[in-house]
Amino acid sequence: MSSEKNKPTVQTTGHAWDGDIQEFNNPLPNWWLWTFYATAIFAIVYWFLYPAWPVGDSYTKGMMNEITYTTSDGKTTTTHWNTRALFLKEMQDAREAQAEFLKEINASTFEQIASDEEKSAFAYSMAKVVFADNCAACHQTGGNGVIGFYPNLLDDAWLWGGSFSKIQESIANGRNGSMPAFKGRLTEKQTSDVTDYILSLSGSAVDKSAAKRGKAVFTNAGGCVACHGADGKGKESFGAANLTDKIWTIADVTGADTLEAKKAVVMSVVKNGKTRQMPAWKDRLSATEIKMLTLYVHKLSASQ
């Protein structure tokens, strides 16, 4: 170090700390200096082109840098450069790029889209993303749902109807499913009997005489027929489940190994009831998005 300090060609700032620590006073490298000037010039150009300086209660809006955008309601606006206008332009470009397809989606019936390879491919790929963002949190990425909470969309059982129009209605307006709690309204014995009957409907080998007593409870004391129907096949207008198939949406019967365990899960639902809510999406998603989602959800089930 001591030899460098004594180099005669380089000036020092002239002061010394702790007696001998000195500071070189090299000139700035030219490349650095010119880069610095260039950034200053860039800034000045930028001030003219983009919103920059505050003036009173407003600011300079920039010049020669306008954005013209058309919103989906057909209004065209030209404005100074700003990120919101830029965003609207970006949305417009995407809308126009997809317009050809979206127009056909809007103009076609569900059946027409589903049977057309190109239209359906477009609808499914758009809907898949919308599904992942909005639906998958409950119905899961693949649509298999969570038993006890969120219906499985892959099977062929539909609480509120599986036609295009019913699915569309469910998505747009949401659904409120409510199975009342029968605790207190039915005795333990009645609950047990009606559970035997319910399980017998889907072919479980239950105590026949208990199931027979249960049928009476199902029809009379419990009044289950009001929603689930005399045949136990459910009613879509109430979102009441079909009890005669082997598909379960609240009670995890399929996951229970023994008859006793099956009875326990069904009894728990009879006793405690279950309220479920499907949110309404019509304010969050566009009509076209809902239409494409409907097709997608319908396909999830139909492809099984």
The distance of Cα 278 from the centroid of its chain, to the nearest Å, equals: 12
CB closer to other proteins out of 138 and 256: 138
Contact 150, 238 (CB under 8 A): no
Binding part of the chain for other proteins, among 56-64, 115-123, 154-162, 206-214 by CB under 8 A, reads 56-64
Answer yes or no whether residue 296 interacts with other proteins by CB under 8 A: no
CB closer to other proteins out of 61 and 235: 61
- Residue position matching structure tokens 């404005």: 79
For residue 13, CA distances in Å to 16, 18, 66, 197, 286 come to: 9, 15, 51, 99, 69
Contact string 116-135 vs other proteins (x = CB under 8 A): -------------x---xx-
Q: How far is the CB of 224 from other proteins (least distance, A)?
A: 24
- CA neighbor of 290 nearest in space, from 60, 97, 134: 134
Dihedral pair phi/psi, residue 297, rounded to 5°: -65, -40
* CB proximity list for 60: less than 8 A, separation 6 or greater: 47, 51, 52, 53
Q: How far is the CB of 190 from other proteins (least distance, A)?
A: 26
Q: Beta partners for 176?
A: 277
Answer yes or no whether residue 24 interacts with other proteins by CB under 8 A: no
Answer yes or no whether residue 140 interacts with other proteins by CB under 8 A: yes
Answer yes or no whether residue 15 interacts with other proteins by CB under 8 A: yes
Q: How far is the CB of 274 from other proteins (least distance, A)?
A: 10
Q: Which residues bind other proteins (CB under 8 A)?
A: 15, 51, 54, 56-59, 69, 71-73, 75, 77, 79, 82-88, 90-91, 94, 129, 133-134, 136-138, 140-141, 146, 149-150, 276-279, 283-284
